[in-house]
Structure 1
Amino acid sequence: MGKSKYFKNKEEFVKVMTALCDRLKCDPKVGADVAKANVIVRFEYSDPDAAVTINGRDKPETPGDFISYCWDSKTPEPDVVMINSADFSHRFWHGKENPMLAIAMGKMKTKGDAAKALALLPAIKPAFKIYPEVLKELGRKDLVL
């Protein structure tokens, strides 16, 4: 495995992705649409190694949230696991990666029902505008592509 072009270490990557997840989980468009899909997706990242599980099935404990997430946990059991590099994820959240093409080319691997995860693409499309905003809010304008 290589080294991330964008993130110094796992802590930096998790900080950025946590800020994004915090915005999306209560977003009335993205969060609500992901919850309607009734799916649990785990993203397993490399370079750096990390995993986040997005739970769109179970009602979140926090009022106002539509979905929940947790880092580096094997529960709840996901419907699908998406496996890719942190750099791929960074480009994806900018709207610069095509997951279907990435799967075909081996840049992204899946376990389980990949169709369920790919069906979320229309729901998460508004996040492509939110992600650069999150980076700027974190003082990481240098990461905006």
Structure 2
Amino acid sequence: MSFKDEDEVARYIGGIFQEAFKDEELGPTLADTGLVVSFRYTEPDAVLTVDMGNHQVYQGERDDVDPSATMYMKAETANAYWQGAVNLPFAIARGKVTVEGNVASLLKLAPLGSKLFSVYTGMLERDGRQDLLVDK
């Protein structure tokens, strides 16, 4: 099974960034990057924009936020990534993830994300979303 709609993508994928912003180590580290990343998902269609510097996650199209990079992927790929089942550089090389903009900065953030894998799977388990859990 997959996410039902954009709201679920925002709840879970956006939620992982909200948790990161609260973390005493990750929050300041993400803010220091100053990055604004737009995520454009398919299956279901969803757009999330994460403003690292201002600790904001926006759902839907935004004209007032200028991303430094935009990532395109299936929501299923993002779900698997946040569980540690997708290697981002390999996914980019294989075309499962496409990036426009500052790719190098995004790749530097990837190791930080691994600190949140257990938080993400915990969110899914807490909400009874075993259908979204992947085998690694």
TM-score of the two chains, using structure 1 as the length reference: 0.82
1:21 aligns with 2:17: yes
Q: Verify: 1:138 aligned to 2:127, yes or no.
A: yes
1:1-145 superposed matches below 5 A: 5-57=1-53, 60=54, 67-74=55-62, 75-145=64-134
CA distance in 2, matches of 1:10, 1:68: 17
TM-score (normalised: structure 2): 0.87
Tell me if structure 2 keeps the 8 A contact 1:34–1:124: no
Contact 2:49/2:58, CA 8 A, preserved across alignment: yes
Once the 2 structures are TM-superposed, how far is the Cα of residue 34 of structure 1 from its aligned partner?
1.3
Matched residue of 2:61: which SS? coil
Q: CA deviation at 1:99?
A: 1.2
CA distance in 1 between partners of 2:34 and 2:7 (Å): 29
**Number of residue-to-residue matches in the alignment:** 133
Structure 2 CA distance for aligned equivalents of residues 52 and 104 of structure 1: 23
Quote how far apart the aligned CAs of 1:48 are.
0.6
1:54 and 1:68 in contact (8 A); partners too: yes
Q: Flag the structure with higher helix content.
A: 2
Asked if the contact 1:40–1:54 (Cα under 8 Å) also holds between the matched residues in 2, the reply is: yes
**Does the 8 A contact of 1:43 with 1:82 survive in 2?**
yes
Give the fraction of aligned pairs with identical amino acids, expressed as a percent. Answer: 27
Q: Distance in 2 between matches of 1:77 and 1:98?
A: 27
Q: Partners of 2:90 and 2:13 in 1: how far apart?
A: 23
Runs (4+) of structure 1 moved beyond 6 Å? none
Q: Point out where structure 2 has 5 or more consecutive residues left out of the alignment.
A: none
1:49-73: CA deviations, max 9, x gaps? 111111112xx4xxxxxx2111113
CA distance in 2, matches of 1:79, 1:143: 29
CA contact under 8 A between 1:30 and 1:127: conserved in structure 2? no
Deviates more, 1:73-82 or 1:101-110: 73-82
Output the CA distance in 2 between the equivalents of 1:142 and 1:109. 26
